[in-house]
Every structure is written in structure tokens, then in C-alpha cells.
Amino acid sequence: MTADTLSLPIDIQQTTSPRVQDVDFTNLVFGRNISDHMFVAEYRDGQWQQLRIVPYGDLSLSPATAALHYGQAIFEGMKAYKNEDNEVLLFRPHDNWKRFNRSAERMCMPTVPEEVFMNGLTELMRLDAEWVPCAPGCSLYIRPYMFAADAYLGVRPSESYLFVIFTSPVGTYYANPLKVKVETDYIRAAAGGVGAAKCAGNYAASLYPARLAQQAGYDQLIWTDARDHVFVEESGTMNVMFMLDGKLVTPAVSDTILDGITRKSIVEIARHWGISVEERKVSIREVIEALKEGRLQAAFGAGTAVVVSPFSVIAYEGVDYHLPAVEEDSFVTKVKNYLTDLRTGKIADTFGWVLKA
Ligand code: COI
């Protein structure tokens, strides 16, 4: 079958052995189950071609594949939900597409046309709609990614690429509030580097410092600026936000901070609610002082995978500072519920963020 009304038709080969019935939707662990199909497009000779949806399965790659050596690889994370009429809803997918292409430009890769990204995504949603969970806290995590496919050992931008989208039904990423340690030795990103790009290497580089923190009893790190370790940047794979003196305060995006879609949604919702928002440099000392003086109502991570994840402890210079428990009427709880209600169509989407797949 072909979705051939498109200018770049997608060849569709449906699986003959669907696995959806085998999945325990009451116990979804993040990243464990992968849905039946994947979308694949190839970039060769300067153009995107061979668009197809095929049963999810292994890719066959040369051991010399450039991405495996030099890390020319980028990805996105996005989510789909179901509304009460069983329709599949995507949350701000065009923002993911635009950010994907910004990452592509930074990593010297070809951009993916809107038609390829969006049609691949929506066709995949149509085929795998049964994989979108309905239970509270669950969603279908969508992973678009692209990597350098040349089998070539010289260091240069690849001439061929693979763009793939696959999906995974997921539950909660972090079950409990996080104990986070402020990192002042290692760095995530430096000015002029690739911190704002969603490239594979950023995540690889974070693993060792995160493991050290976990061995010391923490869940994640708060990254600080590479030069002086004075300003807060991100936490783990999330943007960081604070409710400080009743205002929403968050590090401004820059070339070291990812332009998070959950982050910017929360900023827009807070403004819509009349809450004052400050996007600026936030020093870790300011946060700790506010915490000590009882002026820090909450600190939390925001991201597609985690949605909103409150911190229970911030460790800085060897001291564990405890945050107040998150109450039902707090901003953190309200914004998390509001986002969920928007994404599942329970409340009217006055922002224009939700797209029926
Ligand atoms: C996301 O929130 O989508 C992320 O990119 C985090 C992911 C690496 C699990």
C-alpha cells in the first residue's frame, strides 16, 4: 500500500505479526516496549527518498557507519495521547520538527522537510494508534532521529543519512521527586558548543558525571555553566525551573541550554495565568539562599519524557538542602495537570498546540 497523495509517497508495509496484545499496558516502563512499525527515509544524492513504513526491526549497518564513530546523530522526543473519543493527539509536533532542523544545521546535517517529518509521523500514528495508551500518566513516546550513514572513516559531514521515527508506549519517567546534586566539576555544555542541539554526544557525555552522582545517592545532576559553575543550566536531560518568591524563574535558553518544548509551554501557561515569569541567568547561590530563607516554593525539571518532575533535595557544596513537599494546590501540580488535560483533550486548547494525528 502507498500513501500516494503525497508528493513524496510513503510505501507502507504492514506487519503480519502485531505485538500490541502482548504488552502489559498496566505496567509500562519507560522505553521498554517498541510499537509495531517504524518510518524510515533515506537521504542520498542531495535528496530525501525511499520513504517507507515497515515493521519495527533491526537496521543493517556497515561497521564503518560514520555516526557510530564521530557521533553525527540527532534526535527528538515527543508524545501522543488519546482523547475520550479515542482520537490520537500530538502535542506541538511542529515545534519538534523545527528544533530537529536547528539541531541538524548545527551538526552539519541536511534538514528534514516538513512534509517528510509530519507525514511520516501521522502515517505512523494512524498505523500504530492502538499503541497509544489511555491510562493516566501514560502516553506514546515518539522518537524521531537522524544519523550519518556513510560507510567512510574520514572525518567530514556524511553524504547520506537515515531519518527514522519509532514509538514506545510509556508510563512515568521518574516515579518520585528527585534528589539532585549541583555539578561543579564536570560540564554539560560550553558556550559556542552544541548544548542547544539535541545531539547524541550531549547525552553520552552526561553519563559518567550522572553515574558518580547516583553512586553518591542522588538521582540526577543540576548542570552549571562551564566557565565558573555559578549559573544553573539544566538538570539531567531536563530544563530547570524554580518557583521563587511566587515567580516562575528559569534559565534563559542560550547556546548551552536546550529550547525545551515543555519548558516553553510552562512559561506560556504561567504567563497566561498571570504569574510573573523571569527567563534569565539564575545563580545557584540565589537558589540556595532563597531555599534557606523559605522563599523557594519549588524547584523542578521539565521535559517531554518527564513532563514535570519536582526536586526534593538540592545538594550543593556537600550540603543537602530539602525542598518543601509538593502540595495539591501548588503551581507544580497545577501546571502538570493542566498540561496533561490539554494533551488529552480534556480542556479546550486555546493555545493551538494540540494536533489531531
Ligand atoms: C525527552 O524529554 O524527550 C528527552 O530527550 C529525554 C530523553 C533523553 C529520555
Residue range 18-31, pLDDT digits in tens: 999 999 999 999 99
In the predicted model, is pLDDT for residue 304 greater than 50? yes
20 vs 49, 195, 242, 310, 342, CA distance in Å? 29, 36, 39, 32, 26
Domain end point (choices 133, 155, 172): 172
Q: Establish whether residue 305 lines the binding site of ligand 1, counting it when its CB lies within 6 angstroms of any ligand atom.
A: yes
Q: Is the pLDDT of residue 1 over 80?
A: no
Q: What is the pLDDT of residue 8?
A: 84
In a domain, 183, yes or no: yes
Q: 306 falls in which pLDDT band (50, 70, 90)?
A: confident
Residue 352 in this model has a pLDDT that exceeds 70: yes
Of the chain, the percentage scoring pLDDT greater than 90 comes to: 94
| Average pLDDT along the chain | 96
- 287 Cα to the center of ligand 1, angstroms: 25
Q: How far is the CA of 77 from the centre of ligand 1 (A)?
A: 6
Strand partners, 146: 74, 163
In a domain, 325, yes or no: yes
- Placement of cell 553518591 in the chain: 216
Q: Mark residue 187 as left, alpha or beta (left: phi above 0; alpha: psi -120 to 50; beta: remaining).
A: beta
Mean pLDDT confidence for 55-66: 98
Q: Among 111, 138, 172, where does a domain finish?
A: 172
Task: Provide the pLDDT confidence category of residue 172 given band limits of 50, 70 and 90.
Answer: confident
Q: What is the pLDDT of residue 119?
A: 97
Residue 348 lies in a domain: no
My answer on whether 198 and 127 are in the same domain is no
| β-pair partners for 44 | 47
CB atoms within 10 A of CB 324: 15
Atom of ligand 1 nearest to the CA of 262: 2
**Cα(141) to centroid(ligand 1), Å:** 9
> Which atom of ligand 1 is closest in space to residue 306's alpha carbon?
2
State residue 7's pLDDT score: 78
Give me the helix-helix angle, 93-106 and 114-127, nearest 10°.
Answer: 130
Partners of 48 in beta bridges: 43
| Alpha carbon distance, N-terminus to C-terminus of the chain | 19
Atom of ligand 1 nearest to the CA of 304: 2
- Among the candidates 154, 172, 190, a domain finishes at 172
Q: How far apart are CA 117 and CA 39, in angstroms?
A: 10
Q: Tell me whether residue 349 is in a domain.
A: no
Element (H, E) at 78: strand 78-82
138 and 211 together in one domain: no
Domain assignment present for 357 = no
- Residue 213 contacts residue 222 (beta carbons within 8 Å): no
Using the atom order of ligand 1, give the atom closest to the CA of residue 77: 3
Model pLDDT, residue 6: 59
* Domain range enclosing 257: 178-343
Q: What is the CATH number of the domain that holds 160?
A: 3.30.470.10
Q: Which cell numbers in the block locate residue 213? A: 552522582
Chain mean position to CA 124: 19
- Work out the average pLDDT over 235-239: 96
166/108 same-domain check: yes
- Is-contact 100 144, C-beta < 8 A? yes
Give the number of the atom of ligand 1 that is nearest the alpha carbon of residue 203: 8
Answer whether residue 190 shows pLDDT above 60.
yes
The H or E element that residue 233 is part of is strand 232-235
Give CA–CA dist 68/145, Å, rounded.
14
Q: How confident is the model at residue 266 (pLDDT cuts 50, 70, 90)?
A: very high
In a domain, 73, yes or no: yes
353 lies in a domain?
no
As a whole number, mean pLDDT of residues 22-41 equals 95
Q: Is 77 in the pocket of ligand 1 (CB under 6 A)?
A: yes
pLDDT of residue 3: 53
Answer yes or no: do 143 and 211 share one domain.
no
Three-point CA angle 144, 150, 152, nearest 5°: 145
Do 23 and 141 share a structural domain?
A: yes
Question: Cβ contacts of residue 13 below 8 Å, gap of 6+?
Answer: 52, 53, 54, 55
How many whole angstroms separate alpha carbon 137 and alpha carbon 81?
Answer: 10
324 and 216, same structural domain? yes
Tell whether 187 and 314 lie within a shared domain.
yes
Q: Which comes out higher in pLDDT, residue 261 or 172? A: 261
Report the range of poorest mean pLDDT among 126-130, 135-139, 195-199, 237-241: 135-139
Q: Are 21 and 15 in contact (CB under 8 A)?
A: no
3-state helix, strand, coil in the chain (%, to 5): 25, 30, 45
**Residue 239 belongs to domain with CATH number:** 3.20.10.10
Q: Give the CA angle between residues 17, 124, 262 to the nearest 5°.
A: 125
Instruction: Count Cα neighbours of 234 within 13 Å in the Cβ-side half-sphere.
Output: 25
- Examine the domain organization and report whether 145 and 21 are in the same domain: yes
Same domain as 42, residue 144? yes
Per-residue model confidence (pLDDT) at position 203: 96
Average pLDDT over residues 31-53: 97
Per-residue pLDDT at 2 exceeds 60: no
In a domain, 356, yes or no: no
**Ligand 1 site, residue 302, Cβ cutoff 6 A:** no
Nearest to 282 by CA among 317, 239, 249: 249
What is the SS3 assignment for 102?
Answer: helix
Q: Is the CB of 315 under 6 A from ligand 1?
A: no
Domain count, the chain: 2
Mean of the pLDDT values across residues 161-167? 98
One domain, residues 192 and 251? yes
Do 139 and 123 belong together in one domain? yes
If asked whether residues 215 and 72 sit together in one domain, one would say no
Q: Which of 177, 349, 194, 329 is nearest to 257 (CA)?
A: 194
pLDDT at position 5 is 53
